[in-house]
Chain A
Amino acid sequence: MNIIVLIKQVPNTTEVKLDPKTGNLIREGIETIINPDDLHALETAITLKETYGATITVLTMGPPQAIDALSEAMGMGADQAVLLSDRAFAGADTWATSFTLGKAIEHIGEFDLILAGRQAIDGDTAQVGPQVAGLLDLPQVTYVFDIEAVKPDYVVVKRRLEDGYERVQCNLPALLTVMAGEKQPRYPLVSALLLACREKAPIQVWNAADIGVTTAEIGLEGSLTHVIRTFAPKFERHSEFLEGSTVEMAQNLIGRFKENKLISLAGAEASQGRNTTFPEERRK
């Protein structure tokens, strides 16, 4: 079975901060990681390899340092990797990114399954996976958290819904986007990691010419959406810290609730239609 896994190296956005003066992201010193959902995609691929036997190719589009993400993926168990790196790829929106990845996949050759993470923690779009599937005209299932069965012609997967899940049968070849399931992604094996860092490691680096695209189709020029501006979300409130003992703080808080008529609503719901006037009101 041939599996291609799409991954992205991202800044760890739980650590990212904004410069209060410029409103720009402070990227220095922020560690880069493999996007968490992509780790789940890798784990899924490697588990399939262990169960059914497979060759796993990892693909990423990124700056030169994204090669570290590929080494890590191979340390986990991927067999070979491709880094798509070219200045001309920069500034791409999901349309141009999915086009670039799609062209690269055509150059990688035959596959049975493409796995991608549901969404990246920097872009947060969840669009690249389905757009690649659309470009390659593959059936897709998104929000997959479990692969039940793999047959020669189809897979059966569990897809997360807002209020439960559905079991879907999907013809192969297909593209699945994967989110966290029951298993935690494994750590890379040090021995495999070392092999992946060697010069002879099966990691290729391709540029725009290697995948036969023109600059008009990729990067900023090939994008169909453009960022007009970015700004910091404003959501700081003036926080009042309540003081005193636990009993006092609780009293204080309930007082605030009453002042703002928040608790009369609660009172009405909790008391189920009984008399809901406050003691102060009744004394009038």
Chain B
Amino acid sequence: MAVWVEIDLCDGCRRCTRACPYDAMKIQDGKAHVGDRCTSCGACMDACRNKAILTDAKPRVVPDFRDHTGVWVFAEQRGGELNRVSLELLGRAQGLAKDLNQEVAAVLIGDLVSGLASALIAFGADKVYLAEHAALKDYRTEAYAHVLEELIAAHKPNILLLGATHIGRDLAPRVSKRVGSGLTADCTELSIDVDEGILWQTRPAFGGNVMATIANRFSRPQMATVRPGVMEVIPTPAKEGAVITHVAKLTEERIRTKTLEIVKETQARVDLSKAKIIVAGGRGANDPAGFELLRELADTLGAALAGTRVAFEEGWIPASSQVGQTGLTVRPDLYIACGVSGAIQHRAGMMDSKFIVAINKDPYAPIFKVADWGIVGDLFDVVPELTKQLRTVCEVMCD
């Protein structure tokens, strides 16, 4: 894109040199010339009274993307196990594909993972693109991005969804740069806009204080990472789908990282996404002894134990039990928040729980705004009392 001066029309008035914010206009022999520092901002064009400055820049036009079809889901797997978010994405993809009258495809990348294809079809995929290679056994950015790039170039999907997991948020931006398409992060809502036929991507920003709806008009595929635990899994047991094998062009030498070791957490990992009741603790728990009280309550209820970012940073809970904007999103039937102030970053992770209980010393704690039932009190008094009474209920029930 260039800007230049029609010398015959220029009268050397210098309006343009004064208007240019980049010191890019020079006067030579009484005429203006555009220099190297020009950014095509157009300030000179606006200033010129002789209309002597021209540009070949065209207004941005939405390209014809009719050859891009298909709602694709990146089927994340680790160690041959599908991440649940892959099924959630397939669930949402079904609805989007229906609105667009297009097909759902899953992309399955790994080594010796073909056995997972049938599960993907049983949860919504019309097609599974399968890429297997020894170099794809453990997730590595460059290897996986390369395969996705090849597949996208070959098949031109309209939409590509990935889970906003550690893998997804590492992979998606890299793929976005490789294929030259826009990417939206951590979406909690997706829909097809009726007028433009494009994907509307809604996501939290400013720590969850604001929701933003975002569109990608000028590039394809429309890419989004989607928050795990939000979309619904929709089984399609009768569906028949095709598995299409893709031979990836990969060599070990071209991949510049190596996984040396994978270390799983030693603390027993609870799957919070399956828990019907969650007891969560925050700064108010004070210390590991405080958290023990919460653990006793959780055990009595048969609930999972979780916490805020503070609880994780203090070492009271493992990373996999942290709920919030930078942790997990959960939707249990019952969420009991003890000593949790309710900062917006935490609320973002649990606000869709069916019922929320808050126990906090501070009556003005923001957590009470999202609670169905609130108890203003010291959790060191309330929680043991609750546990004690619940045990009695259980005993009576279990005669």
Contacts and interface: CB of A to CB of B under 8 A. Distances in A.
Given A124-B186, A163-B265, A224-B219, A262 B177 contact: no
Contacts of A164: 262-265
Given A242-B373, A246-B385, A16 B209 contact: yes
B256 A171 contact: yes
Interface stretch (B46-54, B110-118, B124-132, B351-359): B351-359
Interface in A209-266: 209-210, 212-216, 221, 223-233, 235-242, 246-247, 249-251, 253-254, 256-257, 260, 262-263, 265-266
A251 B373 CA distance: 13
Interface in B341-380: 343-345, 347-348, 351, 355-358, 363, 368-377
Nearest to B325: A124
B29 interface: no
B144 to A, nearest CB: 12
B217 A226 contact: yes
B319 interface: yes
Contacts of B276: 265-266, 269
B296 interface: no
Contacts of A127: 169, 172-173, 176, 183, 185
Nearest to A225: B182
B39 interface: yes
B211 A230 contact: yes
B166 to A, nearest CB: 5
Interface in A116-146: 119, 121-131, 133-135, 139-143
B293 interface: no
Interface stretch (A51-59, A66-74, A154-162, A191-199): A154-162
* Residue of B205, B348, B368 most packed against chain A (CB within 10 A): B205
A276 interface: yes
Nearest to B2: A214
Interface in B320-358: 320, 325-326, 333-334, 343-345, 347-348, 351, 355-358
B105 interface: no
A223 B299 CA distance: 50
Interface stretch (A1-9, A38-46, A75-83, A88-96): A88-96
Given A239-B369, A276-B398, A169 B170 contact: no
A252 B309 CA distance: 30
Contact of A180 (B217, B262, B313, B382): B313
B147 to A, nearest CB: 15
Contacts of A170: 256-257
A267 interface: yes
* Residue of A87, A156, A169 most packed against chain B (CB within 10 A): A169
B205 A239 contact: no
Interface string B170-194: 1011101110011111100000000
A241 B357 CA distance: 10
A241 B374 contact: yes
A54 to B, nearest CB: 21
A143 to B, nearest CB: 5
A14 B344 contact: yes
Contacts of A65: none
B1 A214 contact: yes
A228 B211 CA distance: 11
Contacts of A229: 212-213
B58 to A, nearest CB: 10
Contacts of B265: 163-164
Interface in B228-268: 256-265
Given A226-B217, A271-B398, A166 B185 contact: no
Contacts of A207: 21-22
A127 B164 CA distance: 11
A274 interface: yes
B209 A163 contact: no
Contacts of A242: 373-375
A94 B183 contact: yes
B300 A270 contact: yes
Contact of B377 (A143, A165, A224, A249): A249
B374 A230 contact: no
A266 B333 CA distance: 11
A94 B320 CA distance: 28
Contacts of B358: 239
Contacts of B374: 239-242
Contacts of A266: 276-277, 300-303, 390
A83 B192 CA distance: 39
Contacts of A163: 264-265, 269, 319-320
Contact of B57 (A87, A216, A241): A216
* Residue of A25, A214, A250 most packed against chain B (CB within 10 A): A250
Given A209-B24, A227-B213, A254-B389, A162 B319 contact: yes
Contacts of B334: 257, 262
B39 A275 contact: no
Given A130-B174, A133-B174, A208-B39, A122 B206 contact: yes
A256 B40 CA distance: 66
B21 A123 contact: no
A277 B210 CA distance: 45
Contact of B211 (A121, A133, A233): A233
16 contacts: A14-B343, A16-B209, A88-B39, A94-B185, A127-B185, A141-B141, A164-B264, A167-B262, A215-B39, A215-B42, A225-B184, A231-B210, A235-B369, A246-B382, A256-B373, A266-B303
